[in-house]
Structure 1
Amino acid sequence: MVTFALAVFFLIVTPGPGVLSLAGVGSGFGAGPGRRYLLGLFLGNNLVLFAVVTGAAALILADPRIRTLLMAASTAYLLYLAARIAFAGARIAFIERATPPGVRGGILLQVINPKAYAVNTAVVSGFNFLPGNVPVEVMLKVLVLNVIWLPIHFGWLWAGLRLRELALAPSTQRRVNMAMATAMLVVVGLAVWTQLRP
C-alpha cells in the first residue's frame, strides 16, 4: 500500500493540464475562483475515475474514431492553452480569459485531459495489494487517490496565489510564462506520443 501511495503521489504531482491551469486560475483570478475551479477539477477527476473503474472509458476509447477525436480535442485545447501562456508577455497570466472557468470549466478540462485517464487507469489497474478482494482494493485506491490528490492540488493553487502577490520583474514574468508553456507542450507531446506508438 505504501508503494501504491508513493506511485499515486508522483503520478499526480507532476505538472499536467489540471495543476498548471489551476495555478493559472489562482494567479489570474484569486482564491475564490481558484477554489471553484479546484472543485470542478476534483469532480471531473472522479468522473474520469468512475469511467475507468466501471470500464466505460475502455468501451468508449475502444473505438479508434472516438479515441482520435478526443485526442485531437484535448491536444488542440492544450496547445491553445500553451500558446496563451507563452504569449501572455510580461505578465503572469497562465490563462487569459475575461472570466474564470469555474466548476464547469474544471470538470470539462478533466473529461478531455489525457493525463487524468492515464493516471486513473494506472491507479486502478496497477499496484494490486488485495488480489483476493478486488472491490475493497478499488475502494481503498479511490480513497488514497483522493486523499493525495486534494493537498497536491491545493498546493498548486497556493503557488498560483503566491505568484499573484509577487511583484516580479517583467523578464522574470516572461520566463515563468515560457516555462509553464513549455511544460504544457511536453504534456501534449507525451500524450500524442502515447497515442501514436504501436
Structure 2
Amino acid sequence: MSHSLLIAFVMFATVMFFTPGPNNIMLLSSGLTYGFRPTIPHILGITFGFAFMVGAVGVGLGTVFIAYPVLQTILKYAGVAYLVYLAAVIAMSGPVSPDQDVGRRPMTFWGAAMFQWVNVKGWVMVIGTITAYAAIAAYPWNIAIQVGLSLLLGSISCVAWALFGSALRPILTSPLMVRAFNIVMAILLLASLYPVFMDA
C-alpha cells in the first residue's frame, strides 16, 4: 500500500466532501427546514449512494462511459435539469410547522442515493478518486479502501452540514428569514452548475 498516496487521497476526499456542493447545500437547507432527525434518510442516501457509485465505477462501470460518451452527456444534462428543479423547491420552502401537511418531507434515502448519479460534483469526485488514486493498493483492495473512506468521510460531512442547518433553526425563527435563507441556498445550488457550463 502506498501510504503517501493514501494520505493524498484522504486530503482530496476531505476537501471535496466538506466544501459546498449540491449535496451539502441541500442538507444545510433540509436541516434548517425540517430538522436533523427527518433529514437522516437524506444523509444515509447520500453516504451510501455515493460510496456505491465509487465502487461501481471502480469495478468497471466507468468503461461503459468511455465506450459510450453520450451517456455521460445525458447524465450531465439530466443532472443540470434536476438541480434546477431542486433549487426551485428549496427556494419555495419555508419552515414546517407541526400542523402543516405531513406530505412535506425532506429527500428520501432512495431519492438522495439516485441523485448521486446526476450530481456533477459527485462525478468529479468519483473520476478523481478512481483515476488519480488507483495506485493506493492492488486491485480490488484499492477500490475497497476508496469505498470505505468515502463512507467514513461522506457520513461525517453529511452529518456536519445537516447539523449546521438544524443549529440555525433557533436563530432563523421567522418564516420570512427561513424563506430568504433557502433562496440564498437555491442560488448557491444553481451557482454550483458553473463548472458544467464552462465544460460545455
For this structure pair, what is the TM-score category when the shorter chain's length is used for normalisation?
0.7 to 0.9
> Structure 2: how far apart are the matches of 1:187 and 1:8?
18
* Residues 28 and 162 in structure 2, CA contact (< 8 A), matched pair in contact too: yes
Are residue 123 (structure 1) and residue 138 (structure 2) matched?
A: no
* Residues 92 and 163 in structure 1, CA contact (< 8 A), matched pair in contact too: no
Q: Could you tell me the TM-score, scaled by structure 1's length?
A: 0.81
Q: Which moved more, 1:61-70 or 1:44-53?
A: 61-70
Among 124, 138, 144, the residue aligned to 2:143 = 138
* Residues 44 and 155 in structure 2, CA contact (< 8 A), matched pair in contact too: no
Supply the AA of the counterpart residue of 2:131: S
Alpha carbons of structure 1 residues 58 and 159: separation in structure 2 relative to 1, 3 Å: farther
* CA displacement 1:117-149 (0-9 Å, x = unmatched): 210221121145546x34333322322232222
> Structure 1: how far apart are the matches of 2:198 and 2:67?
18
> Structure 1: how far apart are the matches of 2:171 and 2:62?
41
Are residue 69 (structure 1) and residue 67 (structure 2) matched?
A: no
Supply the AA of the counterpart residue of 1:145: S
> Structure 2: how far apart are the matches of 1:87 and 1:31?
20
Unmatched tracts of structure 2, length 5 or more: 1-5, 97-102
Supply the AA of the counterpart residue of 2:162: L
The corresponding residue for 1:80 is: 85
Are residue 108 (structure 1) and residue 104 (structure 2) matched?
A: no
Q: Could you tell me the TM-score, scaled by structure 2's length?
A: 0.80
Q: Which moved more, 1:160-169 or 1:42-51?
A: 160-169
> Structure 1: how far apart are the matches of 2:20 and 2:188?
7
Alpha carbons of structure 1 residues 192 and 51: separation in structure 2 relative to 1, 3 Å: farther
Q: Give the total of aligned pairs.
A: 189
The corresponding residue for 1:165 is: 170
Supply the AA of the counterpart residue of 1:102: T
The corresponding residue for 1:28 is: 33
Unmatched tracts of structure 1, length 5 or more: none
Among 182, 192, 198, the residue aligned to 1:193 = 198
> Structure 1: how far apart are the matches of 2:161 and 2:136?
32
Identity of aligned residues (%): 24
Aligned residues: CA RMSD: 2.5
> Structure 1: how far apart are the matches of 2:106 and 2:17?
23
